[in-house]
Amino acid sequence: MKRILLLALAGPALGVMARPALADSAHENPDDVVAAAKQAALALAPPGAQVTISQAKAAAYMPACTAPLSVAITGNAPYQEAAVHCPAPVWVLYLTANVAAQQLVEVAARPIEAGQTLSEDDVSLAEKPVSLFAGRQTFAGAQQLIGAQARLSLQPGAVITSDAVAQPVVVSTGQTVAVQVKDGGVVVSVNAVADQTGRIGDTILMTNPGSGRRFSALLTASGPVVDLGS
């Protein structure tokens, strides 16, 4: 089998530059093309993932590559595209890489109703195929979900994604809380009254009771934050 040069890229796929095979020339080995694509996909796949590559029948019609093959992998698991590129003579073949990966994520431990506030007993860690939640944010710890509110009903074993829950309310309207005001490396804590109810990740209006000045603050896990440097 010829030596394979791997170039696993996350950028745009290589352009098609295939040249017609000459009748009297040796043709490329399809197995070599598949092996190059699989090796590149495995290099980017999570540990333990199973990778399958589509057939490369078209390779049998391409001139035999006289230089190392390079491969560009694009797309998100489980379905990715492998562009196998021959620099001399120039041609490109596109194959499909199916990455069957598993990941530890939080799932519903029992039936969860829409509107329900989650407790530690409602969730548990389980290994699930990435294909079930590809492209969506998941959770890897119960502490991230305790107090969150389910946006929709979930059956036991269902993967809990960020769009399925609303983060817990951390500040209520009229509540006086400490706000961290950051200016470069200086951090000052001031008390302010929340003008709105908010969850982690929300930006709400607050009022300084001393000056009456209103300002916006970002709600984080450690409380409201105002970054004057941003």
Burial class (CB in 10 A: 0-12, 13-18, 19+), 136: exposed
Position 122 pLDDT exceeds 70: yes
Q: How confident is the model at residue 24 (pLDDT cuts 50, 70, 90)?
A: very low
Interacting residues of 56 by C-beta distance below 8 A, sequence separation 6+: 30, 31, 33, 34, 37, 84, 93, 95
Tens digits of per-residue pLDDT, 135-147?
Answer: 788 998 888 888 8
CA distance 31 to 112: 49
pLDDT at residue number 25: 55
Length of the chain (residues):
230
Give kind and range of the element (H or E) at residue 35: helix 30-44
Residues pairing with 161 in the sheet = 138
What share of the chain has pLDDT > 70, as a percent?
Answer: 89
pLDDT at residue number 167: 83
Look at residues 83, 66, 55, 54 and name the one whose alpha carbon lies nearest to residue 28: 66
pLDDT at residue number 13: 38
Do the beta carbons of residue 54 and residue 102 sit within 8 Å? no
Tens digits of per-residue pLDDT, 166-185?
Answer: 988 889 999 999 999 998 88
CA distance 75 to 104: 22
Which is more confident, 60 or 49? 60
Distance between start and end Cα atoms, the chain: 55
Tens digits of per-residue pLDDT, 145-155?
Answer: 888 899 999 99
Tens digits of per-residue pLDDT, 27-47?
Answer: 999 999 999 999 999 999 887
Report helix, strand and coil shares of the chain as percent, to nearest 5.
Answer: 15, 40, 45
